[in-house]
């Protein structure tokens, strides 16, 4: 039977762009979790995506200059001091479900209407932070999410500021919003779309894992990288809504499938590197 490549596009997932030299190196060093990568393996990885050896080596120099990579032994590289915090943040997605707590009907609000909008970089960081923590705009400049994350308002405020929210933004508890506001809140998230995504993503990831043994090492490594980037991003950007709102078992199944896929992807890449070293 002819194999049909299950890329992100054919799986119905948002396409993952071809990585840059810097992005690819950072992803691999992060995946090593403190381990070191020989430069020859980074060069082999770049070749999978049409990135030249020269571009890989130039990117390594730039990452070292930025403190994001450093030499670890002869011809080997590891994460630099400037990327240690990033490494911790990236690895945290595997335990993301543990951040949720039972929902007691309260919400968290963030008011940003009085904040300046002229600084586009600050505005982008603000919007990214709010989106990453599942906030949605219910009225002009007022964003809300259910209060079902560990640590409540204080932890949410701290997390938002770490992600880039202005320190002057108002973050507060909404325990008894008016009926009109409560009604609007129920329509801020695409619940049927989320549930469909949970089901389809975990099924397609499992399907790819069942078929990946048929692929050549280079093709398996390339597809695993691209699909994994999209799937992990779905976990990181999930709004983590209360169990009562979504198909919680399907969400858990998807998160588990992404963790299994990520672990399998690491094994696939080590096999690819071994194959590259002996051919």
Contact 123, 156 (CB under 8 A): no
pLDDT digits (tens, 9 = 90+) for 134-165: 999 998 999 999 999 999 999 999 999 988 89
pLDDT digits (tens, 9 = 90+) for 7-55: 444 444 445 578 999 999 998 888 877 788 899 999 999 999 999 999 9
95 shares a domain with 111:
no
93 shares a domain with 24:
yes
220 shares a domain with 148:
no
d(CA 39, CA 25): 10
Instruction: Specify if 245 maps to a domain.
Output: yes
Instruction: Specify if 184 maps to a domain.
Output: no
**DSSP assignment letter at 149:** B
d(CA 156, CA 160): 6
Task: Quote the pLDDT of residue 148.
Answer: 96
Task: Quote the pLDDT of residue 104.
Answer: 93
170 shares a domain with 32:
no
Give Cβ neighbours of residue 152 (< 8 Å, ≥ 6 apart).
108, 173
Instruction: Specify if 50 maps to a domain.
Output: yes
141 shares a domain with 11:
no
Instruction: Specify if 152 maps to a domain.
Output: yes
**Tally of domains within the chain:** 2
Q: What angle do CA 253, 255, 261 make, to 5 degrees?
A: 100
137 shares a domain with 198:
no
pTM of the full structure = 0.83
Tokens of 155: 């932890």
pLDDT digits (tens, 9 = 90+) for 79-132: 888 876 666 666 788 899 999 999 999 999 999 998 888 888 889 989 989 999
156 shares a domain with 279:
no
Task: Quote the pLDDT of residue 274.
Answer: 82
142 shares a domain with 234:
no
Instruction: Specify if 179 maps to a domain.
Output: no
Q: Domain boundary residue among 127, 145, 174?
A: 174
Please give the backbone phi and psi of residue 111, each rounded to the nearest 5 degrees, phi first: -110, 120
Q: At what angle do helices 248-278 and 21-31 cross, to 10 degrees?
A: 100
Domain that holds residue 138: 107-174
d(CA 245, CA 269): 38
Instruction: Specify if 183 maps to a domain.
Output: no
93 shares a domain with 4:
yes
What is residue 30's three-state secondary structure?
helix
């Amino acid at each position: 039977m002819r194999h049909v490549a299950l890329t992100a596009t054919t799986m119905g997932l948002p396409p993952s762009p071809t990585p840059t030299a810097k992005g690819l190196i950072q992803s691999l060093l992060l995946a090593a979790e403190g381990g070191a990568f020989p430069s020859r393996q980074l060069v082999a990885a770049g070749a999978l995506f049409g990135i030249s050896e020269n571009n890989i080596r130039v990117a390594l120099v730039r990452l070292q200059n930025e403190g994001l990579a450093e030499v670890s032994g002869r011809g080997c590289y590891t994460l630099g001091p400037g990327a240690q915090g990033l490494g911790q943040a990236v690895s945290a997605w595997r335990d993301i479900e543990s951040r949720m707590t039972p929902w007691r009907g309260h919400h968290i609000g963030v008011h940003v209407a009085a904040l300046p909008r002229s600084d586009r970089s600050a505005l982008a960081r603000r919007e990214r932070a709010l989106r990453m923590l599942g906030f949605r705009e219910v009225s002009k400049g007022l964003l809300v999410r259910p209060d079902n994350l560990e640590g409540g308002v204080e932890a949410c405020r701290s997390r938002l500021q770490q992600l880039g929210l202005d320190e002057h933004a108002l973050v507060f508890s909404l325990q008894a919003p008016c009926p009109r506001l409560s009604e609007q809140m129920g329509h801020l998230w695409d619940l049927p779309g989320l549930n469909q995504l949970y089901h389809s993503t975990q099924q397609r990831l499992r399907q790819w894992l069942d078929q990946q043994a048929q692929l050549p090492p280079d093709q398996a490594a390339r597809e695993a990288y691209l699909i994994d980037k999209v799937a992990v991003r779905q976990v990181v950007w999930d709004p983590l809504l209360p169990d009562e709102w979504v198909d919680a078992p399907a969400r858990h199944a998807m998160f588990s499938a992404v963790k299994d896929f990520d672990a399998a992807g690491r094994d696939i890449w080590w096999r690819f590197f071994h194959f590259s070293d002996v051919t």
